[in-house]
Chain A
């Protein structure tokens, strides 16, 4: 087919072509300025509403560092840390059991996930708190013999409730993580003569941890927030402390805002920690946190799927 000459008036004849150093003008985006302006305006409206609303900001400032609140936040951190540790231990234990050759172990792990992932965590907290109604005494021959109410304090109930619940989620996470480590890693370890235990500890689990670290970071952040549920079982963590104060002085919203500030501070610190942890574990591959530009660039990236 013969090549037809282009006859449109816009055709650019070769003779008019500019040199290689020609200036390039970027496309303007007026729409971005407009949408950005609208959003800024809305933000300003919201900020003003809260500024002129019926909140005594001086009271917020006053209670922000009140002893009871700070102590309560300390309990919040302690509950979260203990529950997360328990959850991680249970998650790995049951996650490995989920992949066992032994069908009974597999079934037990499945049952654990089914029960504790299938019921609300608030309900579980209440059950742990009232466990003495079922078992009045805790008796392990040679180890312990005590009244259950003395053993399961609000703190213990909170850690058990939150930790066991978290463990059921992490079981599935660990199972998925182990499953996504390449099968060849295991085969290579076997041909070197490593036993299943050595292979799991030295080859599979370290790579699993790297894969699930983003999820564990989200767990930590979620746990800090879910620990507020312990306020319902008379555990004197931060929300409970705030409630006890506003029952007396009536500054409800002010004290809830105090809590919000502390929770935001906590989750921000955890996010920063998560960033550095992922960067550390991601050193061998660009998988965990491919973005090395720094924490703030990472924090403002689009959220990954399933990220809290």
Chain B
């Protein structure tokens, strides 16, 4: 199993508040990793540090042979120009809690934006591939709708298609179902389940313990900016060694 992502000693503070206290993590290609933890534990911040939406205050992230945002130069990390950072970021597909679909573009317009502007694909080619992806997430019929005309679950499925359109090495999901009405969670999890079955490398920050148990290869539990537990889902979820993880799980599983 070759590594896709390796995070080394990630630290992040907002003002005097230290959110991440030196995190290490390795994710292999084809692996599905779920990050669980109480709110405020820093799991979203950790995910945002992985793709440099937040710049870590310490440590670095290695993705597929390169360090995010930096280049190793005579033993030091030299910050990259923004254009090269963006090229690296496009290797990591991101799905946000609040979808963040481009409000002024149709569903199809959202999905072709990255391939056309960043990858330089022709409109025809981008549209053909986008329709394939929309088919995959069950949104092809809504291709010419605007985001404001969609339900939350539909928006999130389009957002997944938009991220996939860049053919990323790894897909990151930041609480993809937390902003959804309960009856819409299932359709989004179904799309994610299919991606996982297809061998997509995924890092998923979630509150959906059931999804983690069923789909994840490994589960990480974060508490107060630290990884307290890491391992196979059945081991971590049913028999955690850490007492604080036990407390957290008993609360969410209750």
Binding site for B on A (CB under 8 A): 182, 184-185, 187-196, 198, 202-203, 206-207, 210, 283-286
Contact = CB atoms under 8 A, between A and B. Distances in A.
Given A196-B82, A202-B117, A188 B87 contact: no
A196 B117 CA distance: 12
A194 to B, nearest CB: 6
Interface string B90-124: 10111010111111111000000110011000000
Contact of B86 (A184, A195, A284): A195
B133 to A, nearest CB: 14
Contacts of B51: 191
Given A285-B146, A286-B148, A193 B100 contact: no
A59 B99 CA distance: 64
A280 to B, nearest CB: 12
B90 A284 contact: no
A190 to B, nearest CB: 6
Residue with the greatest number of chain B CB neighbours at <10 A, chosen from A182, A187, A210, A283? A187
A192 B100 contact: no
Given A192-B166, A193-B89, A195-B82, A203 B114 contact: no
Contact of A192 (B82, B83, B114, B147): B114
Nearest to A181: B103
Residue with the greatest number of chain B CB neighbours at <10 A, chosen from A184, A188, A196, A203? A188
B87 A185 contact: no
11 contacts: A187-B53, A188-B96, A191-B163, A193-B86, A194-B113, A194-B114, A194-B117, A202-B113, A206-B104, A284-B104, A284-B105
B104 A210 contact: yes
A193 B166 contact: yes
B157 interface: no
Contacts of B94: 187-188, 191
Size class of the B contact interface (CB-based, 8 Å):
20 to 34
A178 to B, nearest CB: 14
Nearest to B51: A191
Nearest to A284: B146
Contacts of A190: 53, 86, 89
B89 A284 contact: no
A103 to B, nearest CB: 18
Contacts of B12: none
Contacts of B118: 192-194, 198
B162 interface: yes
Contact of B83 (A187, A189, A195): A195
The 5 closest A-B pairs by CB, nearest first: A193-B90, A184-B100, A192-B114, A191-B94, A188-B100
Contacts of B146: 283-285
Contact of B96 (A187, A193, A203, A207): A187
Interface string B119-161: 0000000000000000000000000001110000000000100
Contacts of A284: 103-106, 146-148
Interface in B173-213: none
A286 B103 CA distance: 11
B103 A207 contact: yes
B100 A285 contact: no
Residue with the greatest number of chain A CB neighbours at <10 A, chosen from B90, B93, B100, B106? B100
